[in-house]
Amino acid sequence: MNDREIEIEVLNTLELLKRIISTQSFSREEEPVVKILEDHFKKNKVKVFRKGNNIWVKNQFFKPTLPTLLLNSHTDTVHPNSGYTKNPFEPIIEEGKLFGLGSNDAGGALVCLASCFLHFYAKKDLLFNIVYAATAEEEISGINGIESILEEISPIHFAIVGEPTLMQMAVAERGLMVIDCLRMGRSGHAARMEGDNALIGALEDLNWFSSFKFPQRPNLLGPVRMSPTVIRAGSEHNVVPAECHYVVDIRVPDMYTHEEILETIRKSVKSMVTPRSLRLKSSLIPDHHPLVQSGLSLGISTYGSPTTSDKALIPVPALKMGPGDSARSHTADEFIYLEEIEGGLKTYIQLLKALNHYYETLGKRA
């Protein structure tokens, strides 16, 4: 394709993102945006598969004998916070920025991957298959997102998960474990200093969470991070609380399992500890993988990501990579630079071309 054709692809990608920003798509309420994407592919004469609020498409010359690359990003957004000064559902362009809820996380990646898929859709000489999937409930780690369609789209062999990474390759990603904790005490009258104050007891345990350091093991992601985020106790000013509930957000590096961390916590605190889920494991794609090697050949850098995404739920080697900056995610007046949309699409296309070249070279060597 020539420069003019690529320029048209970039413009179409930007217009698609504007339509998506204009359409509310909170977690579990993604259907209107899913319909936009569904119509977009049908307009380009691509057969669309759908389950719930998830859609996927396959390249025209799909061959079961070839490895399959999954291109995946999510359609849901968080709710806009109170700091917004602009309409979160109005795609406003100012000073080279496109503002709007979900523009950065992860609308930019969602539309760039869609356009990348269409760029390669009718290519006959690909040495791998491509499946593009736009999926739901990523922001709430829901069960009706990517997990719910894995059997439908399998077998897949490797993946690119679209999230804002400044188009760097996140080869490792922290896992996530959220635990609900309950510290029990005994109620009494505050004036008479009666009872066993569950809130004071919980503070002892919270001090452990804030001060304990797991023994460091070699990894790309640094130490285990435990952050108490929610606490609730008591109902009256003069009643010593008998219960204190609190929540701890735990980010897990690749050299610890959720089970190991949970065992240490239960041995160390007096609160009852209940994990909400053990699903979101840490993940790592090795440096020698064809996807990583293809990116390195283009001069794209690698890093370990502190945040968790659907990469944790995809049971094959996966890169997390996309336009935008993770630091802008969930912030007021969220935006993505226009040049990031253009750069994201072009880099995705270059990466897949490099991957095809990798397999070509491998075939010649064989």
pLDDT at 339 over 90: yes
Q: What per-residue confidence (pLDDT) applies to 194?
A: 85
Q: How confident is the model over 37-73, as pLDDT tens digits?
A: 999 999 999 999 999 999 999 999 999 999 999 999 9
Buried b (16+ CB within 10 A) or exposed e, 61-72: eeeeebbbbbbb
Q: What per-residue confidence (pLDDT) applies to 58?
A: 98
Query: Rounded mean pLDDT of the chain?
Result: 95
Q: How confident is the model over 269-302, as pLDDT tens digits?
A: 999 999 999 999 999 999 999 999 999 999 999 9
- In CATH, the architecture of 3-173+282-365 is 3-Layer(aba) Sandwich (3.40)
Distance CA 297, CA 149 (A): 32
Q: What per-residue confidence (pLDDT) applies to 365?
A: 64
Q: Cite the residue boundaries of each domain of the chain with CATH code 3.30.70.360.
A: 175-275
Q: Cite the residue boundaries of each domain of the chain with CATH code 3.40.630.10.
A: 3-173+282-365
Buried b (16+ CB within 10 A) or exposed e, 225-250: ebebeeeebbeeeeebbbbbbbebeb
Per-residue pLDDT band for 1 (boundaries 50, 70, 90) equals low
Q: What per-residue confidence (pLDDT) applies to 93?
A: 98
Q: How confident is the model over 138-153, as pLDDT tens digits?
A: 999 999 999 999 999 9
- For 219, 227, 359, the CA distances from 247, given in Å and listed in that order, are 26, 9, 47
Please enumerate in sequence order all residues whose Cβ is within 8 A of that of 330, keeping only pairs 6 or more positions apart, or say none.
Answer: 78, 81, 105
Section 154-179 average pLDDT: 97
Q: Please, are residues 271 and 181 in contact by the beta-carbon 8 Å criterion?
A: yes
For the entire predicted model, the pTM comes to 0.91
Section 168-190 average pLDDT: 95
Q: How confident is the model over 299-319, as pLDDT tens digits?
A: 999 999 989 999 999 999 999
Return the CATH fold of 175-275. Answer: Alpha-Beta Plaits (3.30.70)
pLDDT at 366 over 70: no
Q: How confident is the model over 4-38, as pLDDT tens digits?
A: 888 899 999 999 999 999 999 999 999 999 999 99
